[in-house]
Chain A
Amino acid sequence: MSMQDGQPARLHLEGISKSFGGIHALEGVGFTVGAGAVHALLGENGAGKSTLVKILTGVHAPDSGVVLLDGMPCHFRSPMEARRAGVVAVYQDPKVFPHLDVAENIFMGIHPTSRLGTVDRHRMYRRARELLAGLGVELDPASLVAGLSIGEIQFVEFARAMTEGMARLLILDEPTASLTPAETGRLFAVVRRLRARGCSVIFISHRIEELSGLVDTVTVLRDGRHVATLPAAGLAEAEVVRLMVGREAGAPINRARVVGKERLRVERLGLAGRFDDISFAVRAGEIVGLAGLVGAGRSEIAQTIFGVSRPSAGHVFVNGQPVHVRRPRQMLALGVAYVPEDRDQEGLITPLSITHNLVLPIQRRLARAGILRPRFERQLAQSVTTDLQIRSAGVDQPVASLSGGNRQKVVLGKWLGTMPSVLILDEPTHGIDVGAKAQVHDIIERLAGEGMAILMISSDLPELLRLADRILVVADGRMIREFARSDATQEAIMQAATTPRRRAAE
Chain B
Amino acid sequence: MSRSSQGGMAEAGNFGTPFSHLARHIALLENRVLGVSVFLGLVALFFSILDPRFANIANADTIALNGSILVIVACGEAIVVLTRNFDLSVGSVVALASYVGLDIVRLHHSIGPPLVIVPILIGGLCGAVNGLLVAYAGVPSVIATLGTMSIFRGLAYLYAAGAQINVKDLPGWVVGIAASHVLGISGLVLTAFGVVLGIGLGLRYLRTGRQIYAIGSNPDAAQFYGLSKPLIVFRAYLICGLLTGLAAFLFGVRAGYIVPYLAQGLELTALAAVVVGGVSVLGGSGNVVGAAVGAIALATINNGLILLGASDFTRQFIEGAAIVVAVIVDAVLQARLRTLLAMLRRSRRKQ
- Residues of A near any B CB (own CB < 8 A): 78-80, 83, 95-100, 104, 108-111, 113, 117-119, 121, 136-140, 143-144, 146-149, 151-152, 180-186, 188-189, 210, 213, 272-274, 476-477, 501-502, 504-506
CB pair A121 B205 closer than 8 Å: yes
CB pair B9 A273 closer than 8 Å: no
CB pair B213 A96 closer than 8 Å: no
CB pair B207 A95 closer than 8 Å: no
Cα A423 to Cα B213 with chains together (Å): 41
- Minimal Cβ-Cβ distance residue in A for B3: A185
Is chain B's interface secondary structure helix, strand, loop, or mixed overall?
helix
CB pair B221 A95 closer than 8 Å: yes
CB pair B206 A182 closer than 8 Å: no
Which residues does chain B contribute within 8 Å of A151, judged by CB atoms?
A: 349
| Known A99-B216, A108-B214: A138·B15 in contact at CB below 8 Å | yes
Query: How does the 8 Å CB contact mask read for B192-227 relative to A, with 1 for contact and 0 for none?
Result: 000000000000111101110110111011011111
Supplied contacts A138-B15, A189-B9, A213-B1, 4 more A-B pairs, CB within 8 Å = A79-B224, A137-B12, A149-B345, A210-B1
Which residues does chain B contribute within 8 Å of A183, judged by CB atoms?
A: 8, 349
| Known A111-B207, A274-B342, A506-B4: A180·B217 in contact at CB below 8 Å | no
CB pair A504 B350 closer than 8 Å: yes
| Known A273-B339, A273-B343: A109·B227 in contact at CB below 8 Å | yes
Q: For chains A and B in complex, what number of residue pairs have CB atoms within 8 angstroms?
A: 142
Query: How does the 8 Å CB contact mask read for B14-26 relative to A, with 1 for contact and 0 for none?
Result: 0110000001001
CB pair B2 A188 closer than 8 Å: yes
CB pair A147 B2 closer than 8 Å: no
Which residues does chain A contribute within 8 Å of B344, judged by CB atoms?
A: 147
CB pair A501 B350 closer than 8 Å: yes
- Minimal Cβ-Cβ distance residue in A for B207: A111
Which residues does chain B contribute within 8 Å of A110, judged by CB atoms?
A: 226
CB pair A97 B218 closer than 8 Å: yes
Let me know if B340 is at the binding interface, CB within 8 A. yes
Q: Nearest chain A CB to B7's CB is how many angstroms away? A: 7
Q: Nearest chain B CB to A134's CB is how many angstroms away? A: 14
Let me know if B13 is at the binding interface, CB within 8 A. yes
Partner of A138, one of B9, B207, B213, B224: B9
CB pair B2 A182 closer than 8 Å: no
Cα A273 to Cα B25 with chains together (Å): 14
| Known A118-B205, A504-B350: A188·B220 in contact at CB below 8 Å | no
Which residues does chain B contribute within 8 Å of A100, judged by CB atoms?
A: 210, 213-214, 217, 284
| Known A149-B345, A189-B2: A99·B213 in contact at CB below 8 Å | yes
| Known A140-B15, A186-B5: A111·B210 in contact at CB below 8 Å | yes
Would you list the 8 A-B pairs with minimal beta carbon distance, nearest first?
A185-B5, A273-B342, A95-B221, A99-B284, A109-B225, A97-B217, A80-B226, A99-B217
- Residues of B near any A CB (own CB < 8 A): 1-2, 4-9, 12-13, 15-16, 23, 26, 30, 204-207, 209-211, 213-214, 216-218, 220-221, 223-227, 284-285, 338-346, 348-351
Q: Nearest chain B CB to A214's CB is how many angstroms away? A: 8
Q: Nearest chain B CB to A38's CB is how many angstroms away? A: 13
Which residues does chain A contribute within 8 Å of B213, judged by CB atoms?
A: 97, 99-100
CB pair A108 B12 closer than 8 Å: no
CB pair B205 A119 closer than 8 Å: yes
Q: Which of A80, A97, A139, A501 lies at the interface centre, i.e. has the most chain B CB atoms within 10 A of its CB?
A: A97
| Known A147-B26, A273-B342: A213·B349 in contact at CB below 8 Å | no
CB pair B226 A138 closer than 8 Å: no
Q: Nearest chain A CB to B326's CB is how many angstroms away? A: 19
| Known A118-B205, A148-B348, A149-B348: A188·B214 in contact at CB below 8 Å | no
Cα A470 to Cα B7 with chains together (Å): 36
CB pair A506 B15 closer than 8 Å: no
CB pair A108 B211 closer than 8 Å: yes
Cα A83 to Cα B211 with chains together (Å): 19
Q: Nearest chain A CB to B156's CB is how many angstroms away? A: 37
Cα A95 to Cα B7 with chains together (Å): 29
CB pair A119 B214 closer than 8 Å: no
| Known A97-B218, A97-B284, A108-B214: A273·B348 in contact at CB below 8 Å | no
Which residues does chain B contribute within 8 Å of A189, judged by CB atoms?
A: 2, 5-6, 9
Q: Nearest chain B CB to A60's CB is how many angstroms away? A: 15
Which residues does chain A contribute within 8 Å of B204, judged by CB atoms?
A: 119, 121
Cα A87 to Cα B342 with chains together (Å): 32
| Known A121-B205, A272-B339: A182·B5 in contact at CB below 8 Å | yes
Cα A188 to Cα B346 with chains together (Å): 21
Partner of B214, one of A97, A182, A476, A502: A97
Which residues does chain A contribute within 8 Å of B6, judged by CB atoms?
A: 185, 189
Q: Nearest chain A CB to B314's CB is how many angstroms away? A: 36
| Known A97-B217, A98-B217, A119-B206: A213·B2 in contact at CB below 8 Å | yes
Which residues does chain A contribute within 8 Å of B209, judged by CB atoms?
A: 119
CB pair A109 B8 closer than 8 Å: no
CB pair B346 A186 closer than 8 Å: no
- Minimal Cβ-Cβ distance residue in B for A504: B350
Which residues does chain B contribute within 8 Å of A98, judged by CB atoms?
A: 217-218, 284
Partner of B346, one of A97, A273, A505: A273
| Known A97-B213, A272-B339: A186·B349 in contact at CB below 8 Å | no
Q: Nearest chain B CB to A113's CB is how many angstroms away? A: 7
Which residues does chain A contribute within 8 Å of B7, judged by CB atoms?
A: 505-506
Which residues does chain B contribute within 8 Å of A139, judged by CB atoms?
A: 15
CB pair B225 A108 closer than 8 Å: yes
Cα A149 to Cα B26 with chains together (Å): 16
Q: Nearest chain B CB to A159's CB is how many angstroms away? A: 14
CB pair A182 B351 closer than 8 Å: yes
- Minimal Cβ-Cβ distance residue in A for B215: A97
Cα A339 to Cα B218 with chains together (Å): 26
Which residues does chain A contribute within 8 Å of B26, judged by CB atoms?
A: 144, 147
CB pair A505 B4 closer than 8 Å: yes
Which residues does chain A contribute within 8 Å of B349, judged by CB atoms?
A: 149, 151, 180, 183, 476, 501
CB pair B346 A477 closer than 8 Å: yes
Which residues does chain B contribute within 8 Å of A119, judged by CB atoms?
A: 204-207, 209-210
- Minimal Cβ-Cβ distance residue in A for B22: A147
